[in-house]
Chain A
Amino acid sequence: MKMLTKFESKSSRAKGVALHPKRPWVLVSLHSSTIQLWDYRMGTLIDRFEDHSGPVRCVSFHPTQPLFVSGGDDYSIKVWSLNSRKCIFTLNGHLDYLRSVSFHHDLPWILSCSDDQTIRIWNWQNRQEIACLTGHNHYVMSAQFHPKEDLIVSASLDQTVRVWDISGLRKKHSAPTSSIRSFEDQLQRQQLPQQDIFGNVNAVVKFVLEGHDKGVNYAAFHPTLPLIVSGGDDRLVKLWRMSETKAWEVDSCRGHTGTVLATIFHPHQDLILSVGDDKTIRVWDLNKRTPVKQFRREHDRFWDIACHPTVNLFAGCHDSGVMIFKLERERPAYSIFQNKLYFVNNEKQIQCYDYQKKETSLPMLSLKKIGKTWSFMRTLSYNQADNSILVTHGSSDDGKYSLITLPKHVTGAIEPTDARQGECNFACFISRNRFVTFTKSNKSLEVKDLNNNTTKSIQLDSSVQDVLYGGPGRVLLVKSHSVINYDVQQRKELGEISANNVKYVSWSNSGQYLALLSKHTITIATKDLELVNSLHETIRIKSAAWDDSDVLLYTTLNHIKYTLLNGDNGIIKTLANILYLTKVSQSKVYCLNRAGEVEVVTIDPTEFRFKRALVNKNLKEVVRMINNSNLVGQNIISYLQKKGYPEVALAFVSDPESRFVLALESGNLAVALEEAKKLNNNSIWEKLAEEALNEGNIEIVEFCYQNLHLFDKLSFLYVYKGDTERLNKMATIAEHRSDYSSLIQNTFYNGDIKKRCQVYIQSGMLPLAYTVAKSNGLEDLCAEILNEAGIKEEDIELPELSEPLQVPEPVAEPIQNWPLKPSELSFFESAQLNGGLDDLTLEESDSIAPKDLEASQLELEEEFDDENIEEDEGGWGLDDDDLDIDEDQVFDAQTDKEAADASNAPAVDGEIAFWLRNAKTAAQYVAAGAFEQAASMLHKQLGVSDFEPLRERFLEVYESSKLYLPGVDGLPAMKDYIRVDNDEDNPNKFLPFIPGFEGLEDKLAVGFKYFKDNNLEKAIKVFREIIYTITVLTVEDEDQESKCEDILLLCREYILGLTIELTRRQVETSDPKRNLELAAYFTRTKLQKPHKINALQVAMSQCFKNKNYSSASYFADELLSLVSSGPRAEQAKKLKAKAETIPGDAIEIDFDSYAEFEICASSLTPIYKGSPSITETLVGAKYKPDELGNICKITKITKIGAAASGLRIKG
């Protein structure tokens, strides 16, 4: 058991404490007269309530209303509103310090007790005291309503605990009135009979519990059982039981070294908690009354303890504050294997949840007897090899592990029979037959086998705090400020990343990424511990799981959230209760809750998928989602804006203001103008004018200026445009407005000197007018001016004038819009406009179930006499197992690209031109001679990178459709062609004939024949040729296509198997382990039945020869399950009988007969399910991640892990 402190406040001399039933709030009443309200999740002080004078010893929340009650040394009870944060009213009546106050769970009553030796009940609705319970003859230290019945338990320094029956009071007040009763009414009630001798009518003492030798400080009811717990100055915690008629002492819990000040029952578990002035919180076993655990503070006496009604939390108050804690972790231990979740439920039983069937199994194993009674199962690791689990339990100083085999058949929670145990703080499986344990005290990491023997012991650095699972053969060493990826086999540190106080790790499904979880931080790194991103949460992070597209979902106390690898994150859902994510699958999130049950939460993944699509620039997907899903909200809009996709955001917005801003940002002036018209205010027009000017859209600029009445700017715009007509209008307008300054300006612009002069004249500026007229040669006007002024020309002295100034003529036509900023339609906009995305649908592409090779029924006419085949030779038959065919992904976008590439084909005429135009598959391009297009397609579809092996096939396909028709003698022959369908008369469907499909089965038979003849290299060559044939092939329909896919898989398995066998034959005799491993892996390749028998025979006899009798027996069994009679069966039976007399394996090999695994086609080692692996696209060969980018060993042409869309051979 462990005390996990969730919150601590520094508050001097806390006396009373209460936990809010719904919100993360705790009330603390202080000796100083203050009451504090804290949010213990956020760690913030929400408010202080100060109305009492003197110490406040007790507080309590109303179970449902936004109210709380407090009682102080000022004799008063105060009722406070949590809404207004004010004291609503005060209940006066007690004559001494208040010791406890609380609300009734159901009736509008408050219960209080006081040093005045009374217990009083108040109706808080009419604010009346409705009962006063007398009987105690010393301070009443505590009083409490029974959670269900009409009882009260009280404790007093008179050394008694009393149980009171208040059913009479309920009857009397069952219909409480809200109005204050009249004096007469009260008088009348006092006349009622049934009074006892002390005048108490409504409450009678039911039991007086005597047993404490000194004053009793606290008494509490059990939440469900007829039990009472009390604590007193005699340092004892006493347990009492009561029946309808009597009550008696059951036992005492001894251990406190000072006064017991408060004690309560654990709300869910059979535990008692008590606090005292000996500075301890003690936990007792209710059934045995023995101490379970104690927690001591150095200097602080504890005064009160409270439990949360629903959540597993306790609050204890002491001399220097309050602490919120829980007694154990609530994270159910779990482990995922394949499609199953193994977890420990709240009854400490192992259960299994099937993600596919969405079913929880019956409990399969009880762990109650594993470890100490109250020890919690912290971690669980599952090993499929022998169907066992490894659990760790206990606290850091006495942690243990237990390795237990699960029952084969689930019949209910049975007790484990073969638990292998040891000490450690962390343990997990790292391979089929090994697990590691880490002991914190001596920092040792031990590798153990399934018999619990230590095979290796590693002394770790003293700074290692914890260990986490790090993938097969690896662990993560957790230090205070960093995490190290550690290879246990090589004892080597592979990488390090700095991250503080990491507690948990979550590996992505691909094994490429991991998320390290600390209390408030998630650090995302690659598998090699290179930092990808990290994020901080203000509230606690509880768990994380990856979806299939490497989006991390995680839970905090309140939410399910997501984060993309680039750090973009958001909230998916608000949570009522804390959930631990185990798996994310499309829109389903599989969680464990604190009740140890699986909860399936449906989420809307649209937002993060949308963002991911945007981040990956998958704009087609973006458009699809915009068109089809209900993505809305300010959140997504501001995200798009922030990420620089205003044009995408525009699609979501209808509000004109936002549309305007987004349209401006995306340079979409048309939309901006439209919205500006709706908004029609100056600042909008100004902004639009500015942007339009930037973009050279003069029309819009003009429109804006007109709206803004910016006449001068308009005039200048017209000058700039060379629009004299409008310029003249501007002059007229200026004149109308009597704005002479503007008018003069316009005359400058349009060169209207006469007008200018007239304005000068009108304004009385004759000299200026004259000068202007004169200098421009307007003699008539000059004369007029002179006339008006009444002077003669000679009177005026002007400087020497040059030629009249010629105002340059503007361009003939006013200039039009002159786009300055490139404003091409983005992909998004054009997609929206053209709607060329009809083929996209919103339906999720359902995962294609792995294909069943057997179901496809390859009609392979095989005729092998498997009985006559020598060892190491043999025919090869269809396996009964399924082949894992990876889901074929179809990348529409890529296909388009391919098609676009293809359109670059050389210009030709005639038949070839038709073929090129109509070609869809790589083979058709090859036949049409467009090798580059074909190669490009194959590269994109399949990741083909080494083309050399395909040379022959290319030439074959190309030449197979060409003929030479002899013509006139002396001239070369004419080119003639072979079409796939001679009955086709539509040139748009003319396509070349591609040979190969009809011959596939014959070729397979040739491959088998070579194999039978023990000519393995040749067999491999033939199978590879078949792969090449299918790579450059066109088939007519889906049946043929799926047949080709099946054959590809068959070839893959045979090439892999033969390679394993060839490698095995070359293994040095000095390395029997490798020899045996390869023999074993050979049996796992999916061969046809008669051939599998051969593989099994090899493995069986090799194992037997090398004294691996258990394995030999296993292979013999497997062989016998395929063939039950004949010489080989007989041999297997004999060998099995012999092997079983000498159990055990002399050489331990990396082969787990029970585990599902793929074989890495390069290293020829297993990749167990769940381990990271990468896939080759053409045949789906599996590889370990370090093979990324290498050429596939099976096909010899494709790149491993290359981004590829998959084989497309259907014409």
Chain B
Amino acid sequence: MDFRDSGELYTVVTQFYTGQHSKVVEYSLNQFSDESQLKLLEFQVRSTVSLGKDASKLIDDGKAQFPDNEPLFSLLSAWNDLHSFGVDDSTYFEDVKEPEFELQAILTSFYIVKFLKNIDGAISLLTKYIDDSNMLKINELEPYLVLIQLHLIQGNFGAANKIFNNFENFPDSAKDSIVYQVLESWVSSIKGETENINNAYYFYDEILSNDFENDESGKFKILNTLLVLTIKLKHYPEAYELVKQINTLDVKQVDDYLANQITLNYLTGKAENNDELISKLKISNPDHAYLTDRAVKNEKFTDIVNKYKN
């Protein structure tokens, strides 16, 4: 992504990186200049996949429209197929050992995390991709975004913050990028302290002021993020307000939301509802970090019980 001339795509990019995929796919290519169309198409394919829909048609159309971009479309096809047919059909990502371009690096890292469950592998792939470039890839920010998230999934704030601090070496204009703002919001939230959390909160609150009438999944994502920040600020009544709002939405991928609700219930002395939430979470995503962590802790606790019993 080239943020320097993203003026035309600014809204699209923002929507894409804040999870408003329904809006991204709504655009028509001919609304944009030729240079931007391919990029838009790329976002649209990814958004379509994110929404759990098949993007084959978009890809085929794109192939016809932009014939010189074979590698990109192979990648997008593999990405789309992966979500439609699973891992059996294609070995595309298996074969990517050293990504050649940004999107390939990003999508391969997603593949490694999601299907191989190997976050460390994804981190090293991305790190290598970034390091291998001789010059600062100042126009490619997304690998940083993904890398930071990967570190934060593992709770490694130190590594994430180090990458974040590297942005000091980027031109100031990079900080205007939505990608930067998104990753800054994450770092702020996890870094803690009222001011940081508030900044992150306002960032998402502002996004929420957009029109989400036809984008429940987008709204859900923003509200869920706001829920985390509200709980962090210990604004429990407001948190319940958000829960109320979220519950009116029809979304499928609610596992993180369920996990956050469990925490909220503990904090407000309503733990009696948690058994139900845990059951729901097990159905929604049996591999969710909350459940695996809980299982590990339970086992650890059993060891303790046995240790002190005698």
Q: Could you list which residues of chain A lie within 8 angstroms of chain B, going by C-beta atoms? A: 908-912, 929, 931-932, 935, 939, 944-948, 951, 954-956, 958-979, 982-985, 990, 993, 995, 998-999, 1002-1003
Distance (Å) between the CB of B304 and the closest chain A CB? 4
Interchain CB contact under 8 A, B190 and A977: yes
Interchain CB contact under 8 A, A978 and B146: no
Contacts of A963 in B (CB 8 A): 228, 231-232, 259-260, 263
Interchain CB contact under 8 A, A978 and B114: no
* A982 CB contact (under 8 Å) in B19, B153, B232, B256: B232
Give the docked Cα–Cα distance between A990 and B113 (Å). Answer: 31
* A970 CB contact (under 8 Å) in B50, B145, B221, B263: B50
* B269 CB contact (under 8 Å) in A947, A954, A977, A995: A995
The 4 closest A-B CB pairs, nearest first, are A910-B157, A974-B152, A999-B269, A967-B149
Stretch at the interface among B167-175, B207-215, B293-301: B293-301
Q: Is B262 an interface residue (CB 8 A)?
A: yes
* A984 CB contact (under 8 Å) in B154, B193, B233, B308: B193
Query: Considering only CB atoms, which chain B residue lies closest to A910 in the complex?
Result: B157
Interchain CB contact under 8 A, B263 and A960: yes
Distance (Å) between the CB of B197 and the closest chain A CB? 6
Q: Could you list which residues of chain B lie within 8 angstroms of chain A, going by C-beta atoms? A: 17, 19, 21, 50, 110, 113-114, 145-146, 149-150, 152-159, 186, 189-190, 192-194, 197, 221, 224-225, 228, 231-234, 256, 259-260, 262-263, 266-267, 269, 271, 288-290, 293-294, 297-298, 300-301, 304-305, 307-309
Interchain CB contact under 8 A, B228 and A979: no
What are 21 pairs between A and B in contact, CB < 8 Å? Answer: A910-B156, A911-B190, A911-B192, A931-B301, A946-B308, A954-B301, A959-B263, A964-B228, A964-B260, A965-B152, A965-B190, A966-B221, A966-B256, A971-B113, A974-B190, A977-B232, A979-B232, A982-B194, A982-B233, A999-B269, A1002-B269
Give the docked Cα–Cα distance between A990 and B153 (Å). Answer: 20
Contacts of A967 in B (CB 8 A): 149, 152-153, 186
Contacts of B194 in A (CB 8 A): 982-983
Known: A965-B186, A977-B232. 10 other contacts (CB 8 A): A910-B158, A911-B190, A946-B305, A964-B256, A964-B260, A968-B149, A972-B289, A978-B263, A982-B233, A985-B193
Query: Considering only CB atoms, which chain B residue lies closest to A980 in the complex?
Result: B234
Contacts of B298 in A (CB 8 A): 951, 955
Give the docked Cα–Cα distance between A909 and B21 (Å). Answer: 34
A-B contact count (CB 8 A): 163
Distance (Å) between the CB of A574 and the closest chain B CB? 51
Interchain CB contact under 8 A, A982 and B197: yes
Contacts of B150 in A (CB 8 A): 971
Distance (Å) between the CB of A955 and the closest chain B CB? 6
Interchain CB contact under 8 A, A983 and B193: yes
Interchain CB contact under 8 A, A971 and B110: yes
Query: Considering only CB atoms, which chain B residue lies closest to A964 in the complex?
Result: B256
Pick from B110, B145, B304 the residue with the most CB of A within 10 Å: B304
- The interface residues of chain B, by DSSP majority, are classed as helix
Interchain CB contact under 8 A, A966 and B297: no
Contacts of B305 in A (CB 8 A): 946-948, 951
Contacts of B146 in A (CB 8 A): 968, 971
In the complex where A909-B159, A946-B308 touch, is A964 in contact with B259 (Cβ < 8 A)?
yes
Interchain CB contact under 8 A, B21 and A969: yes
Query: Considering only CB atoms, which chain B residue lies closest to A908 in the complex?
Result: B155
Interchain CB contact under 8 A, A911 and B157: yes
* A909 CB contact (under 8 Å) in B155, B231, B289, B300: B155
Give the docked Cα–Cα distance between A679 and B238 (Å). Answer: 83
Interchain CB contact under 8 A, B301 and A973: no
Contacts of A972 in B (CB 8 A): 113, 153, 288-289
Give the docked Cα–Cα distance between A1112 and B113 (Å). Answer: 76
Give the docked Cα–Cα distance between A1181 and B236 (Å). Answer: 37
Interchain CB contact under 8 A, B155 and A910: yes
Interchain CB contact under 8 A, B225 and A939: no
Contacts of B263 in A (CB 8 A): 959-963, 978
Distance (Å) between the CB of A95 and the closest chain B CB? 96
In the complex where A963-B231, A995-B269 touch, is A931 in contact with B152 (Cβ < 8 A)?
no
Query: Considering only CB atoms, which chain A residue lies closest to B157 in the complex?
Result: A910
Contacts of B266 in A (CB 8 A): 956, 959-960, 995
Query: Considering only CB atoms, which chain B residue lies closest to A1002 in the complex?
Result: B269
Contacts of B233 in A (CB 8 A): 982
Give the docked Cα–Cα distance between A990 and B21 (Å). Answer: 37
Interchain CB contact under 8 A, A978 and B231: yes
In the complex where A969-B19, A973-B256, A983-B193 touch, is A909 in contact with B157 (Cβ < 8 A)?
yes
Interchain CB contact under 8 A, B301 and A951: yes
Distance (Å) between the CB of A513 and the closest chain B CB? 28
Distance (Å) between the CB of A994 and the closest chain B CB? 10
Query: Considering only CB atoms, which chain B residue lies closest to A978 in the complex?
Result: B232
Give the docked Cα–Cα distance between A990 and B150 (Å). Answer: 23
In the complex where A911-B190, A995-B266 touch, is A954 in contact with B308 (Cβ < 8 A)?
no
Interchain CB contact under 8 A, B297 and A958: yes
Distance (Å) between the CB of A1050 and the closest chain B CB? 19
Distance (Å) between the CB of B182 and the closest chain A CB? 8
Interchain CB contact under 8 A, A977 and B192: yes
Give the docked Cα–Cα distance between A973 and B221 (Å). Answer: 11
Give the docked Cα–Cα distance between A955 and B298 (Å). Answer: 8
Distance (Å) between the CB of B62 and the closest chain A CB? 20
Give the docked Cα–Cα distance between A964 and B21 (Å). Answer: 21
Give the docked Cα–Cα distance between A970 and B19 (Å). Answer: 11
Interchain CB contact under 8 A, B145 and A960: no
Distance (Å) between the CB of A562 and the closest chain B CB? 38
Give the docked Cα–Cα distance between A217 and B294 (Å). Answer: 105
In the complex where A969-B50, A974-B153, A982-B192 touch, is A946 in contact with B309 (Cβ < 8 A)?
yes
Give the docked Cα–Cα distance between A993 and B266 (Å). Answer: 11
Give the docked Cα–Cα distance between A1156 and B21 (Å). Answer: 75
* B300 CB contact (under 8 Å) in A908, A931, A978: A931
Contacts of B17 in A (CB 8 A): 968
Contacts of A911 in B (CB 8 A): 155, 157, 190, 192
Contacts of B271 in A (CB 8 A): 956
Contacts of A990 in B (CB 8 A): 192
Interchain CB contact under 8 A, A947 and B304: yes
Query: Considering only CB atoms, which chain A residue lies closest to B285 in the complex?
Result: A972
Query: Considering only CB atoms, which chain B residue lies closest to A969 in the complex?
Result: B50
In the complex where A978-B231, A978-B232 touch, is A965 in contact with B110 (Cβ < 8 A)?
no
Interchain CB contact under 8 A, A995 and B186: no
In the complex where A967-B152, A972-B289 touch, is A955 in contact with B190 (Cβ < 8 A)?
no
Distance (Å) between the CB of A750 and the closest chain B CB? 63
Distance (Å) between the CB of B234 and the closest chain A CB? 7
In the complex where A964-B260, A967-B152 touch, is A973 in contact with B110 (Cβ < 8 A)?
no
Contacts of A960 in B (CB 8 A): 263, 266-267
Contacts of A951 in B (CB 8 A): 298, 301, 305
Query: Considering only CB atoms, which chain A residue lies closest to B47 in the complex?
Result: A969
Interchain CB contact under 8 A, A909 and B156: yes
Contacts of B304 in A (CB 8 A): 931-932, 935, 947
Distance (Å) between the CB of B150 and the closest chain A CB? 7
Give the docked Cα–Cα distance between A993 and B19 (Å). Answer: 30
Contacts of B309 in A (CB 8 A): 945-946
Contacts of B234 in A (CB 8 A): 978, 982, 993
Contacts of A999 in B (CB 8 A): 269
Distance (Å) between the CB of B58 and the closest chain A CB? 17
Contacts of A979 in B (CB 8 A): 192, 232
Interchain CB contact under 8 A, A971 and B153: yes
Query: Considering only CB atoms, which chain B residue lies closest to A957 in the complex?
Result: B266
Contacts of A985 in B (CB 8 A): 193
Interchain CB contact under 8 A, B153 and A932: no
* B308 CB contact (under 8 Å) in A929, A944, A998, A1002: A944
Pick from B21, B158, B194, B266 the residue with the most CB of A within 10 Å: B266
Query: Considering only CB atoms, which chain B residue lies closest to A983 in the complex?
Result: B194
Contacts of B267 in A (CB 8 A): 960, 978, 993, 995
Contacts of A961 in B (CB 8 A): 263
Distance (Å) between the CB of B165 and the closest chain A CB? 15
